[in-house]
Structure 1
């Protein structure tokens, strides 16, 4: 924009005088690769003041693990895990003041879970619904009772549904498909309590990836599909890809992928040497699997690495005649809705609540009153 303003008057003057300036065009980029010059990117004008403050802080403080290779992640994993959990536990205290819920630590089919019961649940047991939540953390950190509750608590309170956060197995202690097996075990236990049409499945980041993988696993196991699914800040390609992978890395000063798109990621500590085009890992590469997906909701943002992956998965589902909703927030980053203080996060949670209400046939409760 500034460059246009600078040179447009000069171009008009030369044209009026009849002077011709020979301009040597830049050579075309080799192999279709565009070398992008540096530029200043301001905060989005569409963000709320709270979100602008959060994004400003993110730019200033950065992400301490953004440039860690996997050897460093392994060395620092205990510290990374403790840091993520400690931060989440602090956020959960505030969430429990805002959202009236009760927490119950249980085991379903051998898998630890945290059952979140909202006080807004319907009095009639026939009207009760169940949502299964899968936490994020790159398949190497986070817990059901830490990162999992950051979205399980608001979703439970705003839908009136019971939400079960799953403590699935992660790397490097466990390898794929351990997490998918754990989700399937919890889902089988849920099916003993109510029909599939009253159950939903969702997750954020690695939990969103695992949501897609779990649907593929359900199809393999010939289990009935849940009524609806939410892939939040994630798509159907477990490695991510596309333009946004590069753009987000540049914006967050993270490691840039190589020209072929390859880049070691923390998730490799869980996946090992799997084929990332295996539909049980990346269901977006199988039309047969995608054709069995239930109505699916995608939540992402323009500064999130998964945006291209999400939009591609959404387009594949739509092309296959499946019901898919895509919502993108401008100027925000990966997993923005986990900060429930942001007005944009509240918008996202309302989108989630209405989506699950529609597909699980459950009326939404009144807005929850803060806990006294």
Structure 2
């Protein structure tokens, strides 16, 4: 159990604040170039041992399956990666998603959804509902858990909105890491935490929102699921850091879920960088969070 913020967490925040954060505010920021850099750098990170990774292309659904060799359950996690709808990929997330699969003893499908600006809203929302329909052809919804980080957590919530609208069976639970759920960017922390957030600023998330929306209405619940009706959504586990710019998105999602009598477990950590669970196995706080997430998924999807 991590009792206080680790030295590694402090160093990581220092590094991100100086090397990552400034890139997103450059006038010449190029999402396509940034994607290649992330795949090159993060794709080198070692994955969990004894897992098989199998690419999938099925009609409109693209992504990859991650299967631990020792998996004994029927559990399936549909994982949507973050990146402000502009960057990120299954490759850049393998170090985390492979360990997630082991931690929750489940098959994990990592969705390779289309990204803006080439594919603005509703491309990602269309891709995630297509992936869920695909999973339903082979898996019981009681075995399916949604998970995602940042924009991917927002996309998981967007999926719940679409599932209910279409009358499809709900998954058993959702795990949301620092959800990016309000593309209108009305949360107070977007500006008040701009200095303390190690990765983003209010201006950076506003620019990402505008690029993804491409003129669409920011209050459309498929893009900004904060504004959805939460009745009948499945139980949720939500992680946020008190110092990140997206803190208030996570807090308000939890409030709306609780108001709709959805079981919600909100975990607020102090001083951590945005989506710190991704930094396994290097960060002690990430290892602890991943262990908690694995136990939660195993409890919800038995």
Under a length normalisation based on structure 2, what TM-score does the superposition of the two structures give? 0.91
Moved more, 178-187 or 106-115: 106-115
Checking the alignment, whether the CA contact within 8 Å between 2:185 and 2:206 is kept in structure 1 is no
The offset of 1:251, in angstroms, is 2.6
Equivalent residue number for residue 47 of structure 2: 95
* In 2: Cα distance, 1:109 partner to 1:351 partner: 35
C-alpha RMSD of the superposition: 2.1
The offset of 1:327, in angstroms, is 1.0
The 1:256–1:169 alpha-carbon spacing in structure 2 relative to 1, beyond 3 Å, is: closer
Q: What pairs with 1:246-265 in structure 2 (closer than 5 Å)?
A: 246-252=191-197, 256=202, 264-265=206-207
The offset of 1:263, in angstroms, is 7.2
SS of aligned partner of 2:193 = helix
* In 2: Cα distance, 1:338 partner to 1:205 partner: 11
Under a length normalisation based on structure 1, what TM-score does the superposition of the two structures give? 0.75
Residue 144 (1) aligns with residue 90 (2): yes
From 4, 11, 23, the counterpart of 1:53: 11
Checking the alignment, whether the CA contact within 8 Å between 1:229 and 1:296 is kept in structure 2 is yes
Q: Deviations over 1:318-360 (max 9, x none)?
A: 1111111111211112121111011100111112111111111
Checking the alignment, whether the CA contact within 8 Å between 2:77 and 2:107 is kept in structure 1 is yes
From 61, 68, 90, the counterpart of 1:118: 68
Checking the alignment, whether the CA contact within 8 Å between 1:47 and 1:330 is kept in structure 2 is yes
Equivalent residue number for residue 183 of structure 1: 128
Equivalent residue number for residue 82 of structure 1: 36
Checking the alignment, whether the CA contact within 8 Å between 2:153 and 2:179 is kept in structure 1 is yes
Equivalent residue number for residue 296 of structure 2: 355
The 1:328–1:162 alpha-carbon spacing in structure 2 relative to 1, beyond 3 Å, is: same
Checking the alignment, whether the CA contact within 8 Å between 1:46 and 1:331 is kept in structure 2 is no
The offset of 1:252, in angstroms, is 4.8
Q: Which runs of 5+ in 1 are unaligned?
A: 1-44, 362-372
Q: What pairs with 1:268-347 in structure 2 (closer than 5 Å)?
A: 268-287=210-229, 290-340=230-280, 341-347=282-288
From 172, 187, 198, the counterpart of 2:117: 172
The offset of 1:59, in angstroms, is 4.0
Q: Which runs of 5+ in 2 are unaligned?
A: none
**Residue correspondences, number:** 298
